[in-house]
Protein backbone atom coordinates (compact mmCIF):
# COMPACT_ATOMS: atom_id res chain seq x y z
CA UNK A 1 0.00 0.00 0.00
CA UNK A 2 2.90 2.32 0.67
CA UNK A 3 4.43 1.79 -2.73
CA UNK A 4 2.54 4.72 -4.26
CA UNK A 5 2.49 4.82 -8.05
CA UNK A 6 4.36 7.61 -9.78
CA UNK A 7 1.10 8.85 -11.32
CA UNK A 8 -0.51 9.19 -7.90
CA UNK A 9 2.52 10.97 -6.45
CA UNK A 10 2.62 13.36 -9.41
CA UNK A 11 -1.08 14.17 -9.06
CA UNK A 12 -0.68 14.95 -5.35
CA UNK A 13 2.38 17.12 -5.98
CA UNK A 14 0.70 18.87 -8.93
CA UNK A 15 -2.33 19.82 -6.80
CA UNK A 16 -0.04 21.19 -4.10
CA UNK A 17 2.05 23.19 -6.58
CA UNK A 18 -1.01 24.68 -8.30
CA UNK A 19 -2.55 25.63 -4.95
CA UNK A 20 0.64 27.26 -3.70
CA UNK A 21 1.13 29.06 -7.05
CA UNK A 22 -2.32 30.69 -6.89
CA UNK A 23 -1.83 31.53 -3.20
CA UNK A 24 1.38 33.52 -3.88
CA UNK A 25 -0.41 36.77 -4.99
CA UNK A 26 -1.80 37.08 -1.45
CA UNK A 27 1.77 37.68 -0.20
CA UNK A 28 2.78 40.16 -2.93
CA UNK A 29 2.38 43.92 -2.20
CA UNK A 30 -0.71 45.50 -3.77
CA UNK A 31 1.47 48.02 -5.59
CA UNK A 32 2.70 45.22 -7.87
CA UNK A 33 0.44 44.79 -10.91
CA UNK A 34 -0.45 41.18 -11.58
CA UNK A 35 -2.29 39.52 -14.49
CA UNK A 36 -6.07 39.40 -14.17
CA UNK A 37 -6.00 35.59 -13.90
CA UNK A 38 -3.45 35.66 -11.06
CA UNK A 39 -4.97 37.81 -8.34
CA UNK A 40 -5.15 37.65 -4.53
CA UNK A 41 -8.31 36.97 -2.56
CA UNK A 42 -10.69 39.94 -2.72
CA UNK A 43 -11.33 41.62 0.62
CA UNK A 44 -14.87 42.36 1.74
CA UNK A 45 -16.26 45.66 3.00
CA UNK A 46 -15.36 44.94 6.63
CA UNK A 47 -11.70 44.32 5.74
CA UNK A 48 -11.03 46.67 2.84
CA UNK A 49 -13.32 49.52 3.81
CA UNK A 50 -15.87 51.04 1.47
CA UNK A 51 -19.50 52.12 1.36
CA UNK A 52 -22.73 50.55 2.56
CA UNK A 53 -26.04 51.80 1.15
CA UNK A 54 -29.55 50.80 2.21
CA UNK A 55 -32.09 51.48 -0.55
CA UNK A 56 -35.88 51.64 -0.29
CA UNK A 57 -38.01 50.57 -3.27
CA UNK A 58 -40.98 52.87 -3.91
CA UNK A 59 -43.68 50.30 -4.63
CA UNK A 60 -46.40 52.96 -4.46
CA UNK A 61 -45.11 54.58 -7.66
CA UNK A 62 -45.15 51.19 -9.42
CA UNK A 63 -48.74 50.58 -8.35
CA UNK A 64 -49.74 54.11 -9.37
CA UNK A 65 -48.25 53.58 -12.82
CA UNK A 66 -49.96 50.19 -13.17
CA UNK A 67 -53.31 51.73 -12.22
CA UNK A 68 -52.79 54.51 -14.78
CA UNK A 69 -52.16 51.91 -17.47
CA UNK A 70 -55.27 49.98 -16.42
CA UNK A 71 -57.25 53.23 -16.53
CA UNK A 72 -56.13 53.78 -20.14
CA UNK A 73 -57.01 50.19 -21.03
CA UNK A 74 -60.45 50.53 -19.39
CA UNK A 75 -61.13 53.75 -21.29
CA UNK A 76 -60.12 52.19 -24.59
CA UNK A 77 -62.19 49.06 -23.91
CA UNK A 78 -65.30 51.07 -23.12
CA UNK A 79 -64.88 53.16 -26.26
CA UNK A 80 -64.30 50.11 -28.44
CA UNK A 81 -67.54 48.50 -27.21
CA UNK A 82 -69.50 51.80 -27.18
CA UNK A 83 -70.33 51.58 -23.47
CA UNK A 84 -71.35 54.83 -21.79
CA UNK A 85 -69.52 55.56 -18.52
CA UNK A 86 -68.88 58.27 -15.92
CA UNK A 87 -66.17 59.30 -13.49
CA UNK A 88 -63.38 57.02 -14.73
CA UNK A 89 -60.30 57.56 -12.55
CA UNK A 90 -57.36 55.79 -10.95
CA UNK A 91 -57.45 56.28 -7.18
CA UNK A 92 -54.71 54.79 -5.05
CA UNK A 93 -54.63 51.06 -5.56
CA UNK A 94 -57.75 50.80 -7.72
CA UNK A 95 -59.49 52.13 -10.82
CA UNK A 96 -63.10 53.25 -10.46
CA UNK A 97 -65.73 53.78 -13.16
CA UNK A 98 -69.50 54.22 -12.99
CA UNK A 99 -71.79 52.58 -15.56
CA UNK A 100 -75.48 53.16 -14.97
CA UNK A 101 -76.86 50.53 -17.34
CA UNK A 102 -76.88 47.18 -15.50
CA UNK A 103 -76.44 45.01 -18.61
CA UNK A 104 -73.65 47.21 -19.91
CA UNK A 105 -72.03 47.13 -16.46
CA UNK A 106 -72.01 43.33 -16.35
CA UNK A 107 -70.69 43.19 -19.90
CA UNK A 108 -67.93 45.67 -19.08
CA UNK A 109 -66.87 43.71 -15.97
CA UNK A 110 -66.30 40.66 -18.16
CA UNK A 111 -64.06 42.70 -20.43
CA UNK A 112 -62.14 44.18 -17.49
CA UNK A 113 -61.31 40.78 -16.01
CA UNK A 114 -59.54 39.90 -19.26
CA UNK A 115 -57.35 43.01 -19.27
CA UNK A 116 -54.67 41.42 -17.08
CA UNK A 117 -54.19 38.36 -14.92
CA UNK A 118 -54.72 38.87 -11.20
CA UNK A 119 -57.35 41.63 -11.37
CA UNK A 120 -60.22 41.69 -8.89
CA UNK A 121 -63.29 43.37 -10.45
CA UNK A 122 -66.31 44.05 -8.26
CA UNK A 123 -69.16 46.53 -7.78
CA UNK A 124 -69.26 48.77 -4.69
CA UNK A 125 -72.21 51.20 -4.40
CA UNK A 126 -72.95 50.96 -8.15
CA UNK A 127 -69.29 51.79 -8.97
CA UNK A 128 -66.97 49.22 -10.58
CA UNK A 129 -63.68 48.91 -8.71
CA UNK A 130 -60.69 47.25 -10.35
CA UNK A 131 -57.68 46.32 -8.24
CA UNK A 132 -55.03 43.62 -7.95
CA UNK A 133 -55.66 40.58 -5.77
CA UNK A 134 -53.40 40.07 -2.75
CA UNK A 135 -51.61 37.21 -4.52
CA UNK A 136 -51.05 39.34 -7.62
CA UNK A 137 -49.70 42.20 -5.48
CA UNK A 138 -47.25 39.87 -3.75
CA UNK A 139 -46.12 38.52 -7.12
CA UNK A 140 -45.72 42.07 -8.45
CA UNK A 141 -43.61 43.12 -5.44
CA UNK A 142 -41.43 40.04 -5.76
CA UNK A 143 -40.89 40.70 -9.47
CA UNK A 144 -40.06 44.38 -8.86
CA UNK A 145 -37.56 43.38 -6.16
CA UNK A 146 -35.83 40.87 -8.45
CA UNK A 147 -35.71 43.34 -11.35
CA UNK A 148 -34.40 46.14 -9.13
CA UNK A 149 -31.59 43.97 -7.73
CA UNK A 150 -30.61 42.82 -11.21
CA UNK A 151 -30.50 46.35 -12.65
CA UNK A 152 -28.65 47.73 -9.61
CA UNK A 153 -26.12 44.94 -10.15
CA UNK A 154 -25.74 45.85 -13.83
CA UNK A 155 -25.16 49.51 -13.05
CA UNK A 156 -22.64 48.75 -10.32
CA UNK A 157 -20.83 46.39 -12.70
CA UNK A 158 -20.66 49.16 -15.30
CA UNK A 159 -18.71 51.25 -12.76
CA UNK A 160 -16.12 48.49 -12.44
CA UNK A 161 -16.61 48.05 -8.69
CA UNK A 162 -14.96 44.80 -7.63
CA UNK A 163 -16.91 42.17 -5.69
CA UNK A 164 -19.98 44.23 -4.68
CA UNK A 165 -22.59 42.67 -2.39
CA UNK A 166 -26.16 43.35 -3.53
CA UNK A 167 -29.01 41.59 -1.75
CA UNK A 168 -32.56 42.10 -0.56
CA UNK A 169 -33.46 43.00 3.01
CA UNK A 170 -37.05 42.38 3.96
CA UNK A 171 -39.66 42.86 1.27
CA UNK A 172 -38.82 46.33 -0.03
CA UNK A 173 -35.17 47.14 0.71
CA UNK A 174 -31.85 46.46 -0.99
CA UNK A 175 -28.43 46.44 0.69
CA UNK A 176 -25.51 47.50 -1.49
CA UNK A 177 -21.98 47.02 -0.17
CA UNK A 178 -19.13 48.45 -2.26
CA UNK A 179 -15.65 47.44 -1.06
CA UNK A 180 -12.99 50.06 -1.78
CA UNK A 181 -15.49 52.84 -2.65
CA UNK A 182 -14.96 55.65 -0.16
CA UNK A 183 -17.06 58.26 -1.98
CA UNK A 184 -20.50 56.82 -2.80
CA UNK A 185 -21.99 60.03 -4.27
CA UNK A 186 -21.52 58.89 -7.88
CA UNK A 187 -23.11 55.56 -7.05
CA UNK A 188 -26.05 57.25 -5.29
CA UNK A 189 -26.70 59.49 -8.28
CA UNK A 190 -26.50 56.52 -10.61
CA UNK A 191 -28.88 54.37 -8.57
CA UNK A 192 -31.30 57.24 -8.03
CA UNK A 193 -32.14 57.44 -11.72
CA UNK A 194 -34.85 55.14 -12.97
CA UNK A 195 -33.76 55.68 -16.62
CA UNK A 196 -37.17 54.70 -17.97
CA UNK A 197 -37.28 55.70 -21.61
CA UNK A 198 -40.20 55.62 -24.04
CA UNK A 199 -41.10 57.16 -27.39
CA UNK A 200 -44.36 59.10 -27.87
CA UNK A 201 -45.83 61.10 -30.73
CA UNK A 202 -46.29 64.81 -29.96
CA UNK A 203 -49.96 65.89 -30.05
CA UNK A 204 -49.90 68.59 -32.74
CA UNK A 205 -53.56 69.44 -32.21
CA UNK A 206 -53.04 70.89 -28.74
CA UNK A 207 -50.33 73.17 -27.39
CA UNK A 208 -49.17 73.40 -23.78
CA UNK A 209 -51.05 76.63 -23.02
CA UNK A 210 -54.37 75.14 -24.21
CA UNK A 211 -53.67 72.02 -22.16
CA UNK A 212 -53.16 74.14 -19.03
CA UNK A 213 -56.60 75.69 -19.62
CA UNK A 214 -58.19 72.25 -19.64
CA UNK A 215 -58.37 71.76 -23.40
CA UNK A 216 -56.61 68.41 -23.30
CA UNK A 217 -57.68 65.19 -24.94
CA UNK A 218 -58.00 62.16 -22.66
CA UNK A 219 -55.51 60.37 -24.92
CA UNK A 220 -52.79 62.98 -24.30
CA UNK A 221 -50.80 64.31 -21.37
CA UNK A 222 -48.45 67.19 -20.59
CA UNK A 223 -44.79 66.41 -19.91
CA UNK A 224 -41.99 68.88 -19.02
CA UNK A 225 -38.90 69.13 -21.21
CA UNK A 226 -35.25 69.46 -20.28
CA UNK A 227 -35.22 72.75 -22.18
CA UNK A 228 -37.68 74.24 -19.66
CA UNK A 229 -40.71 74.02 -21.92
CA UNK A 230 -43.66 71.68 -21.91
CA UNK A 231 -44.85 69.13 -24.46
CA UNK A 232 -48.25 67.61 -25.10
CA UNK A 233 -47.66 63.99 -26.00
CA UNK A 234 -49.82 60.95 -26.67
CA UNK A 235 -50.36 58.69 -23.68
CA UNK A 236 -49.91 55.65 -25.92
CA UNK A 237 -46.30 54.57 -26.21
CA UNK A 238 -44.92 54.09 -29.71
CA UNK A 239 -42.21 51.81 -28.36
CA UNK A 240 -40.87 51.34 -24.83
CA UNK A 241 -37.33 51.31 -23.50
CA UNK A 242 -37.65 47.61 -22.70
CA UNK A 243 -37.19 46.98 -26.44
CA UNK A 244 -33.74 48.58 -26.41
CA UNK A 245 -30.90 46.12 -26.93
CA UNK A 246 -27.92 48.50 -27.04
CA UNK A 247 -26.96 52.13 -26.54
CA UNK A 248 -23.59 53.71 -27.34
CA UNK A 249 -22.07 57.18 -27.57
CA UNK A 250 -21.25 58.43 -31.05
CA UNK A 251 -20.61 61.83 -32.62
CA UNK A 252 -22.49 63.83 -35.24
CA UNK A 253 -20.88 67.00 -36.53
CA UNK A 254 -18.50 66.92 -33.58
CA UNK A 255 -21.28 66.78 -30.98
CA UNK A 256 -21.86 63.72 -28.75
CA UNK A 257 -25.11 61.83 -29.36
CA UNK A 258 -26.49 58.52 -28.10
CA UNK A 259 -27.17 55.90 -30.76
CA UNK A 260 -29.56 53.10 -29.85
CA UNK A 261 -30.82 49.83 -31.28
CA UNK A 262 -34.12 48.00 -30.81
CA UNK A 263 -34.94 44.32 -30.78
CA UNK A 264 -36.92 42.87 -33.70
CA UNK A 265 -40.38 43.71 -32.36
CA UNK A 266 -39.36 47.16 -31.17
CA UNK A 267 -37.67 47.90 -34.49
CA UNK A 268 -40.84 46.93 -36.36
CA UNK A 269 -43.03 49.18 -34.16
CA UNK A 270 -40.55 52.06 -34.48
CA UNK A 271 -40.40 51.62 -38.26
CA UNK A 272 -44.19 51.60 -38.65
CA UNK A 273 -44.61 54.66 -36.42
CA UNK A 274 -42.02 56.72 -38.32
CA UNK A 275 -43.38 55.55 -41.68
CA UNK A 276 -46.94 56.62 -40.86
CA UNK A 277 -46.11 59.93 -39.13
CA UNK A 278 -43.58 61.71 -41.35
CA UNK A 279 -43.54 65.41 -40.50
CA UNK A 280 -44.67 64.92 -36.89
CA UNK A 281 -42.49 65.28 -33.83
CA UNK A 282 -41.46 62.16 -31.91
CA UNK A 283 -40.83 62.85 -28.22
CA UNK A 284 -38.12 60.83 -26.46
CA UNK A 285 -39.19 60.69 -22.81
CA UNK A 286 -36.67 59.76 -20.12
CA UNK A 287 -37.89 59.55 -16.53
CA UNK A 288 -41.09 61.47 -17.42
CA UNK A 289 -39.14 64.29 -19.04
CA UNK A 290 -38.78 65.02 -22.76
CA UNK A 291 -35.06 65.04 -23.56
CA UNK A 292 -35.51 65.42 -27.32
CA UNK A 293 -38.41 65.84 -29.78
CA UNK A 294 -37.03 65.59 -33.32
CA UNK A 295 -39.26 65.82 -36.38
CA UNK A 296 -39.63 62.57 -38.31
CA UNK A 297 -38.05 63.24 -41.69
CA UNK A 298 -38.41 59.73 -43.13
CA UNK A 299 -39.24 56.17 -42.17
CA UNK A 300 -36.57 54.59 -39.95
CA UNK A 301 -36.79 50.89 -40.72
CA UNK A 302 -33.42 49.64 -39.51
CA UNK A 303 -34.40 49.24 -35.87
CA UNK A 304 -31.93 51.90 -34.72
CA UNK A 305 -31.80 55.64 -34.19
CA UNK A 306 -29.99 58.52 -32.54
CA UNK A 307 -30.86 60.68 -29.54
CA UNK A 308 -29.61 64.22 -29.98
CA UNK A 309 -29.53 66.99 -27.41
CA UNK A 310 -27.22 69.30 -25.53
CA UNK A 311 -25.07 66.41 -24.32
CA UNK A 312 -21.57 66.58 -22.96
CA UNK A 313 -19.37 63.52 -23.39
CA UNK A 314 -19.95 62.64 -19.73
CA UNK A 315 -23.75 63.02 -19.85
CA UNK A 316 -23.96 61.07 -23.12
CA UNK A 317 -21.87 58.26 -21.62
CA UNK A 318 -24.04 58.21 -18.50
CA UNK A 319 -27.29 58.10 -20.52
CA UNK A 320 -25.94 55.31 -22.75
CA UNK A 321 -24.86 53.31 -19.73
CA UNK A 322 -28.26 53.74 -18.02
CA UNK A 323 -30.10 52.65 -21.15
CA UNK A 324 -27.82 49.61 -21.58
CA UNK A 325 -28.34 48.47 -18.00
CA UNK A 326 -32.10 48.88 -18.25
CA UNK A 327 -34.74 50.90 -16.47
CA UNK A 328 -35.41 50.48 -12.79
CA UNK A 329 -39.00 49.29 -12.33
CA UNK A 330 -39.38 51.63 -9.33
CA UNK A 331 -37.57 54.65 -7.89
CA UNK A 332 -35.00 53.93 -5.16
CA UNK A 333 -34.51 56.08 -2.09
CA UNK A 334 -31.30 55.99 -0.05
CA UNK A 335 -32.39 55.34 3.55
CA UNK A 336 -28.97 54.85 5.08
CA UNK A 337 -25.40 55.46 4.01
CA UNK A 338 -22.32 54.32 5.91
CA UNK A 339 -18.66 54.57 4.99
CA UNK A 340 -16.27 52.06 6.50
CA UNK A 341 -12.72 53.34 6.73
CA UNK A 342 -9.81 51.25 5.52
CA UNK A 343 -8.22 51.68 8.96
CA UNK A 344 -10.98 49.64 10.58
CA UNK A 345 -10.43 46.96 7.94
CA UNK A 346 -6.69 46.97 8.61
CA UNK A 347 -7.34 46.48 12.34
CA UNK A 348 -9.62 43.53 11.55
CA UNK A 349 -7.03 41.95 9.28
CA UNK A 350 -4.30 42.46 11.87
CA UNK A 351 -6.44 40.91 14.61
CA UNK A 352 -7.34 38.01 12.33
CA UNK A 353 -3.71 37.36 11.47
CA UNK A 354 -2.69 37.45 15.13
CA UNK A 355 -5.49 35.01 16.03
CA UNK A 356 -4.52 32.72 13.14
CA UNK A 357 -0.86 32.71 14.14
CA UNK A 358 -1.65 31.99 17.80
CA UNK A 359 -4.01 29.20 16.80
CA UNK A 360 -1.46 27.75 14.38
CA UNK A 361 1.33 27.81 16.98
CA UNK A 362 -0.91 26.15 19.58
CA UNK A 363 -1.96 23.40 17.15
CA UNK A 364 1.63 22.76 16.00
CA UNK A 365 2.94 22.69 19.58
CA UNK A 366 0.27 20.20 20.63
CA UNK A 367 0.84 17.88 17.65
CA UNK A 368 4.63 17.83 18.08
CA UNK A 369 4.32 17.27 21.84
CA UNK A 370 1.78 14.48 21.36
CA UNK A 371 3.17 12.71 18.30
CA UNK A 372 6.80 13.76 17.93
CA UNK A 373 8.10 13.36 14.37
CA UNK A 374 4.65 12.59 13.05
CA UNK A 375 3.55 15.89 14.59
CA UNK A 376 6.18 17.60 12.40
CA UNK A 377 4.72 15.81 9.38
CA UNK A 378 1.30 17.09 10.40
CA UNK A 379 2.69 20.63 10.65
CA UNK A 380 3.86 20.43 7.03
CA UNK A 381 0.38 19.25 6.02
CA UNK A 382 -1.28 22.12 7.97
CA UNK A 383 0.85 24.74 6.21
CA UNK A 384 0.13 23.08 2.88
CA UNK A 385 -3.56 23.21 3.77
CA UNK A 386 -3.38 26.98 4.38
CA UNK A 387 -1.75 27.56 1.01
CA UNK A 388 -4.31 25.36 -0.73
CA UNK A 389 -7.15 27.25 0.97
CA UNK A 390 -5.82 30.62 -0.18
CA UNK A 391 -5.15 29.25 -3.65
CA UNK A 392 -8.66 27.81 -3.97
CA UNK A 393 -10.23 31.05 -2.74
CA UNK A 394 -8.16 33.05 -5.23
CA UNK A 395 -9.09 30.75 -8.13
CA UNK A 396 -12.85 30.91 -7.56
CA UNK A 397 -12.81 34.63 -6.69
CA UNK A 398 -14.05 34.35 -3.12
CA UNK A 399 -14.50 37.57 -1.16
CA UNK A 400 -12.84 37.30 2.26
CA UNK A 401 -14.73 38.91 5.14
CA UNK A 402 -14.13 38.97 8.90
CA UNK A 403 -16.38 35.90 9.43
CA UNK A 404 -14.37 34.29 6.64
CA UNK A 405 -11.21 34.78 8.68
CA UNK A 406 -13.03 33.10 11.57
CA UNK A 407 -13.72 30.18 9.24
CA UNK A 408 -10.00 29.93 8.40
CA UNK A 409 -9.04 29.96 12.09
CA UNK A 410 -11.62 27.24 12.82
CA UNK A 411 -10.28 25.17 9.91
CA UNK A 412 -6.72 25.33 11.30
CA UNK A 413 -7.90 23.52 14.41
CA UNK A 414 -10.05 21.08 12.47
CA UNK A 415 -7.26 20.34 9.97
CA UNK A 416 -5.46 18.06 12.45
CA UNK A 417 -8.56 16.14 13.56
CA UNK A 418 -8.04 13.54 10.85
CA UNK A 419 -4.37 13.15 11.75
CA UNK A 420 -5.24 12.62 15.42
CA UNK A 421 -7.63 9.82 14.43
CA UNK A 422 -5.02 8.27 12.14
CA UNK A 423 -2.17 8.45 14.66
CA UNK A 424 -4.29 7.07 17.52
CA UNK A 425 -5.28 4.15 15.31
CA UNK A 426 -1.59 3.57 14.53
CA UNK A 427 -0.82 3.44 18.28
CA UNK A 428 -3.52 0.82 18.78
CA UNK A 429 -2.12 -1.29 15.93
CA UNK A 430 1.42 -1.02 17.33
CA UNK A 431 0.18 -2.25 20.74
CA UNK A 432 -1.33 -5.25 18.96
CA UNK A 433 2.15 -6.12 17.72
CA UNK A 434 1.71 -5.29 14.07
CA UNK A 435 4.74 -4.30 11.97
CA UNK A 436 5.64 -0.69 11.22
CA UNK A 437 4.28 -0.68 7.69
CA UNK A 438 1.12 -2.60 8.61
CA UNK A 439 0.40 -0.34 11.57
CA UNK A 440 0.89 2.81 9.47
CA UNK A 441 -1.24 1.41 6.67
CA UNK A 442 -4.01 0.39 9.08
CA UNK A 443 -4.01 3.87 10.64
CA UNK A 444 -4.99 5.45 7.33
CA UNK A 445 -7.25 2.65 6.10
CA UNK A 446 -9.26 2.04 9.26
CA UNK A 447 -9.66 5.70 10.22
CA UNK A 448 -10.85 6.80 6.78
CA UNK A 449 -14.56 6.03 7.31
CA UNK A 450 -14.62 7.98 10.58
CA UNK A 451 -12.78 10.92 8.98
CA UNK A 452 -15.21 10.94 6.07
CA UNK A 453 -18.29 10.85 8.31
CA UNK A 454 -17.09 13.64 10.59
CA UNK A 455 -16.16 15.92 7.70
CA UNK A 456 -19.36 15.23 5.78
CA UNK A 457 -21.45 16.40 8.72
CA UNK A 458 -19.47 19.64 8.80
CA UNK A 459 -19.88 20.04 5.04
CA UNK A 460 -23.64 19.63 5.43
CA UNK A 461 -23.65 22.35 8.10
CA UNK A 462 -21.62 24.61 5.79
CA UNK A 463 -24.05 23.98 2.92
CA UNK A 464 -27.03 24.88 5.13
CA UNK A 465 -25.32 28.09 6.29
CA UNK A 466 -24.57 29.04 2.68
CA UNK A 467 -28.07 28.23 1.42
CA UNK A 468 -30.04 30.01 4.11
CA UNK A 469 -27.49 32.63 5.18
CA UNK A 470 -26.67 36.01 3.69
CA UNK A 471 -23.58 38.19 3.46
CA UNK A 472 -21.11 37.46 6.27
CA UNK A 473 -22.73 34.12 7.15
CA UNK A 474 -22.18 32.95 3.57
CA UNK A 475 -18.58 34.14 3.74
CA UNK A 476 -18.03 31.99 6.81
CA UNK A 477 -19.71 29.01 5.11
CA UNK A 478 -17.55 29.34 2.00
CA UNK A 479 -14.21 29.45 3.85
CA UNK A 480 -15.31 26.63 6.17
CA UNK A 481 -16.29 24.42 3.23
CA UNK A 482 -13.09 25.10 1.32
CA UNK A 483 -11.07 24.48 4.47
CA UNK A 484 -12.78 21.15 5.13
CA UNK A 485 -12.12 19.94 1.58
CA UNK A 486 -8.47 21.01 1.56
CA UNK A 487 -7.85 19.65 5.06
CA UNK A 488 -9.26 16.25 4.06
CA UNK A 489 -6.83 16.24 1.14
CA UNK A 490 -3.77 17.32 3.11
CA UNK A 491 -4.50 15.31 6.29
CA UNK A 492 -4.96 12.05 4.44
CA UNK A 493 -3.16 12.33 1.11
CA UNK A 494 -0.26 14.71 1.78
CA UNK A 495 0.48 13.29 5.23
CA UNK A 496 0.33 9.77 3.83
CA UNK A 497 2.79 10.70 1.06
CA UNK A 498 5.23 12.18 3.60
CA UNK A 499 5.02 9.15 5.91
CA UNK A 500 5.33 6.73 2.98
CA UNK A 501 8.46 8.56 1.78
CA UNK A 502 9.90 8.51 5.32
CA UNK A 503 9.27 4.78 5.76
CA UNK A 504 10.73 4.00 2.32
CA UNK A 505 13.81 6.10 3.04
CA UNK A 506 14.64 5.14 6.66
CA UNK A 507 12.89 1.74 7.02
CA UNK A 508 12.16 2.24 10.77
CA UNK A 509 11.49 -0.72 13.05
CA UNK A 510 9.24 1.32 15.32
CA UNK A 511 6.79 4.19 14.69
CA UNK A 512 7.78 7.37 16.65
CA UNK A 513 4.33 8.10 18.07
Mean pLDDT in the chain?
86
pLDDT computed for residue 292 by the predictor: 81
* Local confidence band at 66 (pLDDT 50, 70, 90 cut-offs): confident
Q: What separation in angstroms does the CA of 397 have from each of 27, 436, 469, 484?
A: 16, 44, 19, 18
**What confidence tier does 23 reach under pLDDT thresholds 50, 70, 90?**
very high
Number of other residues whose CB lies within 10 A of the CB of residue 449: 9
Give every strand in the sheet of 86-91, ordered side by side.
Answer: 86-91, 94-98, 127-132, 119-124
Q: Is the pLDDT of residue 457 over 60?
A: yes
> 307, 198 in Cβ contact below 8 A?
no
Task: Give CA 156 to chain center in angstroms.
Answer: 10
Average pLDDT over residues 191-216: 81
Distance from C-alpha of 68 to C-alpha of 504, rounded to nearest angstrom = 83
Helix (H, G, I), strand (E, B) or coil at 31: coil
Burial pattern 62-76, b for ≥16 Cβ within 10 A else e, equals bbeebbebbbbbbbe
Q: Are the C-beta atoms of residues 512 and 374 closer than 8 Å to each other?
A: yes
In this model, does residue 361 exceed pLDDT 80?
A: yes
d(CA 108, CA 99): 9
pLDDT band at 1 (very low <50, low <70, confident <90, very high): very low
Choice among 2-11, 388-397, 436-445, 474-483 with the minimum mean pLDDT: 2-11
Residue-wise pLDDT for 365-407, tens only, equals 999 999 999 999 999 999 999 999 999 999 988 888 888 888 8
All domains of the chain in start order, with CATH: 6-49+341-506 (1.20.1640.10), 61-133 (3.30.1360), 196-308 (3.30.1360.200)
C-alpha distances (whole Å) from 507 to each of 185, 302, 500, 504, 510 are 69, 81, 10, 6, 9
Residue of 300, 196, 291, 194 whose CA lies nearest to 240: 196
Q: Residue 361: count other Cβ atoms within 10 Å of its Cβ.
A: 10
Q: How do 50-57 and 332-340 pair as beta strands?
A: antiparallel
The mean pLDDT value for 418-434 works out to 91
User: Is pLDDT above 80 for 160?
Assistant: no
Amino acid sequence: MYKLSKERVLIILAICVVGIFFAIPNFIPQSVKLPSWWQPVSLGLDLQGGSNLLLQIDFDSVLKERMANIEDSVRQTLRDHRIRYQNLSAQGDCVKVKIDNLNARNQAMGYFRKLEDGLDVKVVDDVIEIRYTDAALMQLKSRVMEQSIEIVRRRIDELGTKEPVIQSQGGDRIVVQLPGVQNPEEVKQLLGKTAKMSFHLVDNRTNASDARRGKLSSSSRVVPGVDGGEYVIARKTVVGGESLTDAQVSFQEGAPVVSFKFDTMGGRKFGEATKNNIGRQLAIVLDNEVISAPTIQSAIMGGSGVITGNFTSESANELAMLLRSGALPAPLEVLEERTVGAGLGADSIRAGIVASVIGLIAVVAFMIAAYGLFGVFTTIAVFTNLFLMLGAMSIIGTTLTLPGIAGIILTIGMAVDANVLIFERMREEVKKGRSTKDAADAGFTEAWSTILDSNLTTLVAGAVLFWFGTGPVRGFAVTLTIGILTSMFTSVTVTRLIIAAWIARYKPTKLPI
